[in-house]
A and B are shown apart, each in its own frame.
Chain A
Amino acid sequence: MQLVCPAGNLPALEAAVDAGADAVYAGLRDQTNARAFPGLNFGDDELRAGISYAHAHGRKVYLALNTYPDSARLAHWCGAVDRAAALGCDAIIVAELAVLDYAARTHPALPRHLSVQASATSAPALRYLHERFGIARAVLPRVLSIQQVERLCERSPVPLETFAFGSLCIMVEGRCQLSSYVTGASPNRHGVCSPANFVRWEEHADGSRSVRLARVLIDRFAADEAAGYPTVCKGRFDVRGEVFHALEEPTSLNTLELLPRLAQAGVAALKIEGRQRGAAYVASVTRTWRDALDRYAAAPHDWQVRATWQAQLARHAEGHQTTLGPYHRPWH
């Protein structure tokens, strides 16, 4: 299985390569990708340098072009596809039909990976996108159980990539409008979820803190309570008179213990989330997964999860908690 790691800037890309990523995925410094955060992502020169560094080490660079352009902005997304081809990216990660179609027609030799944002969860859906746009790989939304992933591996017309570790979107990717309902800025259209310029923290006299997204109260934290980034899905709300994480606790996905099953199912690549995280995160998480994958490849039958791996990954998890998320039934 290939290890596909995130990079929000050139130091992170180099860190991923140094730590053993087989491929690194990155985005341009605009709204063409789903991590369009200030200070993040690549200009052409940085991307060229990153590709050069990766290729010198025998690794690949994928460019995420996985947001949804409206008609007025479609030409800009097509221009980004041209840039990816000109700069020598090894693949583009795309969600939107018109962008896929443009890429397939204009740069047929540039492999097209279906982004998780395309919300394709079944063999017929993948067949449609494969037959029409020649996708070479698909990234699965974080909604399927391990059994469903195994079955889909048997039936999919293309190799599959699954999320292995990182922040957990609990909604079907590409199908969540919670951010835009509150702020007007959306993952699909603007490449952002709960953008920081809408976040407002309030300190109270007793040391507690409140956090709002636009004007909506997402959570309150006691003085000694750890506070996470305020996305709607990880806030505490009142349902039936009880206040709790009504949608999901702040926790990260960690599928390390499923590694043998994912390998046996024929999953082609494991994806690490976190282009918004720094080079230290990328290096540490990549190194841990590299070690786990190498030891599995060397001796699949003797492979066991190591406590040191899990401890290392937990350090980088939201709230220091991890979950198997949708891969195991009880989560559903």
Chain B
Amino acid sequence: MKLSLGPLQYFWPRERTLAFYRAAATWPVDIVHLGETVCSKRRELRTRDWIALAGELAAAGKEVVLSSLALVEAESDLAVLERLVAEGGTMIEANDFSAVQACAERNVPFVGGPTLNVYNHRALALLALDGMCRWVPGVEQGHALLRELREAASADGLAMPQLEVIAWGRLPLAYSARCFTARAFDLPKDRCGFRCIDHPDGLPLATREGTPFLRINGIQVQGEEITDLGPELPRLRELDVGVLRLYPQADGMAEVVAHFDAARRSPGAPPPIGARNGYWHGEAGMRREHAPA
């Protein structure tokens, strides 16, 4: 079972980002996703910087995937996408159909990212025909759905692409044209001042009774809890999950990677280091004991 670093969802200063990936080059992760997936205005690292970083990490022995924006709006977003596909020299994580089309047109194999909305085996097979060789289910697709999907694929004689499951991190829940960080600072999006750079783990949002609930991250909304599928490792193995995705958080990633590296080498299940992921169990995503009764 491989370990991957999901794309960095937050906006960190250039030096911090580069230092993070220099360190990651020495961690026992097999796959590293690079690139901006949330907001096209974030340019501490430009496209050429991400491509250069991809080269460095590949030289360090990592499989590198360049991740595309989840929400493509402007012509400039498409230009970046074209460059990633044409010049990236590596696999693309397609997070919308613009990226699927860009890859399919050039016969570049791609990872189907979690925002592609694949819920069944037929959709998976259609995308596989266009070059999807690995699939990251969205946050809602839990154990039962994936098991049924695998059984249906098998019954129809369809080959399954490799399965990569979000194993650890804050779940990406929603995307908007609106920037919620700019809104929280009462700034227009066009002159946002990049305030999200001051919130390396997102901006906490709590209910009016003070219960932590969500994280605001620019145009993205995440769940507050860092979810952890480590305890489900035996079931992930049964499902033939090939890759465990760990989403970068600001602190302690080396320890998180070490924890999952040890876990994948052990036959049982590791102790939890995060919240239970309700989605995986076919329930509400957030922890049931999260709010007062």
Query: Which A residues have a C-beta under 8 Å from some C-beta of B?
Result: 68-72, 74, 95-98, 101-102, 118-125, 127-129, 132, 142-145, 148, 151, 170-172, 174-178, 180-184, 186, 188-189, 212, 214-220, 233, 236-240, 243, 246-248, 326, 329-332
Contacting residues, chain B, for A68 (C-beta < 8 A): 117, 119-120
In the docked arrangement, what's the CA distance between A217 and B214, Å?
A: 13
A interface majority secondary structure = mixed
29 CB contacts below 8 A, A to B, read A71-B122, A74-B152, A96-B119, A97-B118, A97-B122, A98-B126, A121-B71, A121-B73, A124-B81, A124-B101, A144-B177, A145-B73, A145-B177, A172-B70, A176-B175, A178-B221, A180-B285, A181-B223, A214-B291, A215-B292, A216-B213, A238-B206, A238-B210, A239-B205, A243-B208, A247-B176, A247-B221, A326-B178, A332-B190
The reply to whether A217 and B291 form a contact with Cβ atoms under 8 Å apart is yes
- Once the chains are docked, how many angstroms separate the CA of A98 from the CA of B127? 10
Q: Which residue of the partner chain, among B102, B119, B121, B292, contacts A189 with CB atoms under 8 Å?
A: B119
- Residues of chain B within 8 A of A177, CB atoms compared: 138-140, 171, 173-174, 285
B283 contacts chain A at the CB level, 8 A cutoff: yes
Partner of A238, one of B73, B207, B290: B207
> Which residues of chain B in 66-81 are interfacial with respect to chain A, using CB atoms and an 8 Å cutoff?
70-75, 77-78, 81
Which of B77, B149, B151, B214 is the most central at the interface, judged by chain A CB atoms within 10 Å of its CB?
B214
Q: Find out whether the CB atom of A124 lies under 8 angstroms from the CB atom of B208.
A: no
Contact between B174 and A332, CB atoms less than 8 A apart: no
**Cβ B126 vs Cβ A119 within 8 A:** no
Determine the distance from Cα of A239 to Cα of B115 in the docked complex, in whole angstroms: 26
Which residue of chain A has the shortest Cβ distance to B189 in the bound complex? A332
A102-B120 Cα distance, complex, nearest whole Å: 13
Q: Is the CB of A217 within 8 A of B211?
A: yes
Contact partners of B284 in chain A: CB under 8 A:
180-184, 214
**Which positions 95-110 of chain B face chain A at CB distance < 8 Å?**
96-98, 100-102, 104
Evaluate whether A246 and B180 lie within 8 angstroms (CB atoms) in the complex, with A124-B101, A189-B119 already known.
yes
CB closest chain-B residue, reference A181: B285
A-B contacts besides A123-B78, A145-B73, A181-B171, 6 pairs, CB < 8 Å: A102-B122, A120-B96, A121-B71, A122-B98, A129-B97, A186-B140
A74-B291 in contact (CB<8A) = no
Distance to closest chain A CB from B41 (angstroms): 10
- CB of A172 within 8 A of CB of B175, answer yes
Residues 171-204 of chain B: 1 if any A CB is under 8 Å from the residue's CB, otherwise 0?
A: 1011111111001100011100000000000011
For residue B126, give the distance in angstroms from its CB to the closest CB of chain A: 5
A84 to B240, CA, bound (A): 38
With CB as the reference atom, state the residue of chain A lying closest to B199: A240
B209 interfacial by beta-carbon distance below 8 Å: yes
Least Cβ distance of A220 to chain B in Å? 6
* Inter-chain contacts of B120 with A (CB < 8 A): 68-71, 74, 96, 98
Assess whether B208 is in contact with A121, with CB atoms less than 8 Å apart.
no
**Distance between A329 CB and nearest chain B CB, rounded to angstroms:** 6
| B207 CB to nearest A CB, Å | 4
Given A74-B120, A97-B122, A330-B188: A125 and B70 within 8 A (CB)? no
A70 contacts which chain B residues (CB < 8 A)?
Answer: 119-120, 141, 145, 148-149
Q: Judging by beta carbons under 8 Å apart, are B283 and A170 in contact?
A: no
Name the distance in Å between B198's Cβ and chain A's nearest Cβ: 11
Q: Are A71 and B149 in touch, CB under 8 angstroms?
A: yes
B148 in contact with A175 (CB, 8 Å): no
Closest to B120 in A: A71
* Proximity string of chain B (147-162) to chain A, C-beta cutoff 8 Å, 1 when within and 0 when not: 0110111000000000
Nearest residue, chain A, Cβ from B100: A128
Contact with A along B212-244 (1 / 0, CB 8 A): 011010000101000000000000000000000
Tell yes or no: B293 within 8 A of A by CB. Answer: yes
Q: Is the CB of B78 within 8 A of A236?
A: no
- In the complex, the chain B residue whose C-beta lies closest to that of A176 is B174
| B205 CB to nearest A CB, Å | 5
Chain A min CB distance to B291 (Å): 4
Residues of A within 8 A of B141 (CB): 70
A101-B122 in contact given A125-B97, A246-B216 (Cβ < 8 Å): yes
CA distance A118 to B293 in the complex (A): 36
State which residues 122-151 of B face A: CB under 8 Å. 122-123, 126-127, 130, 138-141, 145, 148-149, 151
Closest to B126 in A: A97
Query: Would you call A148 and B190 a contact (CB within 8 A)?
Result: no
| CB-defined contacts of B175 to chain A, threshold 8 Å | 171-172, 175-176
Distance between Cα atoms of A77 and B149 in the complex (Å):
16
Least CB separation from A330: chain B residue = B188
